[in-house]
Structure formats: structure tokens, C-alpha cells
Amino acid sequence: MKCGLKEAEKVELLLQHTSVAAVSHFELCQSCRNASLSQVALWKSLDAWSVPEVSSGFNRTLYAKIDAASAQPWYERLAAVIRPAFAQPSIALGLAGIVLATGFLLDHQSTAVFTAASTRSHAALQGAPAVPVSGVEAEQVEKTLDDLEMLRQFDPASEEKENASKSM
């Protein structure tokens, strides 16, 4: 028979395993009966278990260990916690891989292909050494040059300076 009770109802039923409703349900449902029998066996074994006595020096030893641990500086306590993690080869290898990947990515930054505008400006420099420029940097330079050109159009003094430099 498939039990229609929800888990919370089963737990409640197991706790009341001596009630009339529980006994009648256990007669019909094999899985609940087995759970009830195993629960009763567990309770009996816990009742039969004798707890060992705590030694007379337990508190003294415990407080001595607590005092010794609190006397250490914070960095030594942190190192004691972290040290077992590095003893695992997988963690050490993972960290080494992360360090290598980070170094590789920092060393091999991507370089963008020159756009037509940057090629013209590069041709104007002809004698200068080639410097890799990322796409973002090229766009920022182009936008800055456009902004400067726009500001020159609004500044009459800059036009006079340009005309004077051309006439010389």
C-alpha cells in the first residue's frame, strides 16, 4: 500500500506510535510500520546507552587549551586554520593554476586591429615605433580629438592663432 501521509504527518504519527490511529495505520502501511519499529529500536538503544563520566581534570585541561589558543597572535591562529587546506594537493594545484592563468592574461593583453582613422594617424607618425592600441583606447582618442575640434570651432582666439601660424 502506498502511504498517503505527508512527511510531517508521518513524523507526528511516529511520535504517537502508541495511539489507536497510529496502530491502525501501521496495520495497513508497511513502510510506516517499519519506520515505527526502527524508531522504537533507536529509542531503546539510546535508553540503554550509558554516558561515560567526564574526567576530573577535563575543565582544567579545556581552560588551559583555550588560554593557550587565545595567547597566540591572530595571524598564527589564521595560519593554523589555513595550513591544512594547503596540505591538500588539489587546492594547491588549483591556486597555482589561478596564479598562472592570471599571469598569462596580464602578460598577453589583447591588441585591437587598427581602424582606418588610426591607420591614417599612424601613417602620419611614420618614424615612431608601433604601439599596440586596444579598440577602447582608439575610440577614446578619436572622441577626444572630435571634442577638441568642436571646442576650436567655438573659440575665436584659436582661429586667429591658426590663421597667424598659416600666414607665417
Per-residue pLDDT of the chain (168 residues; tens, 9 = 90+): 567 666 666 667 666 666 777 778 778 888 778 877 888 888 899 999 998 888 889 999 999 999 988 888 888 888 888 777 667 778 778 888 999 999 888 887 655 444 545 555 555 556 656 667 677 788 888 888 888 888 888 776 666 666 666 666
Output the CA–CA distances (angstroms, integers) from residue 155 to 48, 158, 165, in the order listed. Answer: 98, 6, 16
Cell of 90: 588539489
* Alpha carbon distance 142, 116 (integer Å): 11
Cell of 147: 571634442
pTM of the model: 0.31
DSSP 8-state class, residue 57: T
